[in-house]
Amino acid sequence: MAAFMHLFVFSLLFSITNAVQLIIMNNCNTTIWPGILATGGQKTPLGGGFYLHSGRRQFLRVSQNWSGRVWARQGCNFDRKTGIGTCQTGDCNGLLQCKGIGGKPPATVVEMTFSTPASSLHFYDVSIVDGFNLPVSMIPLVRWDKREGCGVAACEADLNVYCPSSLVIKTQGKAVVGCKSPCLATGLPKYCCTGEFSGVEKCQPTVYGRLFKAVCPRAYSHPFDDKTGLKTCKAPRYVITFCPST
């Protein structure tokens, strides 16, 4: 709580004109390698990837109309000179700086679209539609009198603990490091919302989707989970925390 209040006080003193600040925190007990993918022709901060030691944070500035996604890679090993290597989960073609390449699922993804011509609101969510690797939350930092309507997007539980055996991703040492989506694991239309199951009316939550939703009620658990998965706010800065305290 003390660390969060420190960030809140800092955010009040740190004014950014025509920009949104993202504060990416690593609350996990090991190093992670956050990946960033900008969409819609937007600029990608820090080349799209960096390492973040346990207990550290990284401050980023993006434009008011920025859109993109952030995820964490784990178990990475990169060459210090070339920035080439591998990760257990969330890998982006073996590059430290993803440079426009998305993370390989399964990975827990934070998605955001800030102000658009049609709306001044910020839209954001934590998605486990493409699987899960690490818990994460996205919390707006905003004045107390401005918090009405501002939601917290999160999958704070370790979904790997509840992952069905048919969906688990393991290391060679047999440690579970990720949980595949049923679509990734099977390719079946009813899990991928394709073919006869495409569209909001026909793509209904499956038994896997309901399980994931029960564990992470504030996350996107299937492709049309807008009602409970999508959050809105209008904040000058947001904290994205990997392995947040529950």
Contacts of 217 (CB under 8 A, 6+ apart): 228
Mean pLDDT of the chain: 90
Model confidence band, residue 242 (pLDDT cutoffs 50, 70, 90): very high
Give CA–CA dist 92/230, Å, rounded. 25
Cβ–Cβ under 8 Å, residues 208 and 191: yes
- Model pTM greater than 0.85? yes
- Give tens-digit pLDDT for 82-101: 999 999 999 999 999 999 99
| Tokens, residue 42 | 């937007």
| Tokens, residue 2 | 């003390």
Model confidence band, residue 47 (pLDDT cutoffs 50, 70, 90): very high
pLDDT of residue 5: 52
Q: Which residues of 123-137 are buried (b: 16+ CB within 10 A; e: fewer)?
A: bbbbbbbbbbbbbbb
Number of compact structural domains in the chain:
1
Cα angle 68, 26, 171; round to 5: 90
Model confidence band, residue 44 (pLDDT cutoffs 50, 70, 90): very high
- Give tens-digit pLDDT for 140-166: 998 766 666 799 999 999 999 999 999
Which residue type occupies 71?
W
Give CA–CA dist 174/141, Å, rounded. 39
Asked if residue 21 has pLDDT above 90, the reply is yes
Asked if residue 11 has pLDDT above 60, the reply is no
- CA distances to 108, 216, 223 from 190, in Å: 21, 21, 12
Between 238 and 174, the more confident residue is 238
- Give tens-digit pLDDT for 161-199: 999 999 999 988 889 999 999 999 999 999 999 999 988
- CA distances to 35, 133, 173, 185, 211 from 203, in Å: 29, 24, 37, 17, 16
Q: Which residues of 173-206 are buried (b: 16+ CB within 10 A; e: fewer)?
A: eeeebbbbbbbbbeeeebbbbeeebeeeeebeeb
- Give tens-digit pLDDT for 210-235: 999 999 999 999 888 888 899 999 99
The parent domain of residue 49 ranges over: 2-242
pLDDT of residue 15: 43
Can you give the CATH number for the domain in which 209 is found?
Answer: 2.60.110.10
Three-class secondary structure of residue 245 per DSSP: coil
pLDDT of residue 142: 84
pLDDT of residue 228: 84
Question: Order of strands, edge to edge, in the sheet holding 33-38?
Answer: 33-38, 67-73, 109-113, 122-127, 231-233
Asked if residue 209 has pLDDT above 80, the reply is yes
Q: Where is average pLDDT lowest: 2-6, 84-88, 114-118?
A: 2-6
